Amino acid sequence: MLYTHSLDGVSPNMLKGFFVDWPNPPNSDTHLKLLENSSKVILAVDEEKNQVIGFITAMSDGVLSAYIPFLEVLQPYKNQGIGKELVKRMLKDLENLYMVDLCCDDDLVAYYEKFDMFKANAMLKRNYHRQAGACSN
């Protein structure tokens, strides 16, 4: 298992199987673009299979704030501590900032509380027709 901040050598082929249960999931090319455009990225890679098996991203102003929009681990690799390790590493990378925010479903609140995060209110807007990422401007 390799944890890396680098996208060097990562191809869309290595990003199969993510965004489970999304009605209109981004394809692997769009997935790679979102990783490339993130302020910070950490990948978990199964080197034997040459497959990304987990990832976490953050968007940040680099001064006071960051937002973690994605944490995903492929189903066969869940419950092995990979997600926990990705979160720990990202929070370490962001520890110099005033605030690190993320939104999650109610069933994940207890998971994130283990990282000294606390529940708060959020407001959201979703353009579901753009969920796959294939949109113009």
What is residue 136's predicted lDDT score, i.e. its pLDDT? 47
Determine the 3-state secondary structure of 47 from DSSP.
coil
Query: How far is CA 31 from its chain centroid?
Result: 10
Cβ–Cβ < 8 Å for 64, 97: yes
Tell me the pLDDT band of 133, cut-offs 50, 70 and 90.
Answer: confident
User: In whole angstroms, what is the distance from residue 91 CA to residue 84 CA?
Assistant: 11
What is residue 134's predicted lDDT score, i.e. its pLDDT? 61
Q: Which domains does the chain show, CATH number per domain?
A: 2-128 (3.40.630.30)
What is residue 79's predicted lDDT score, i.e. its pLDDT? 96
In the predicted model, what is the mean pLDDT of the chain?
Answer: 95
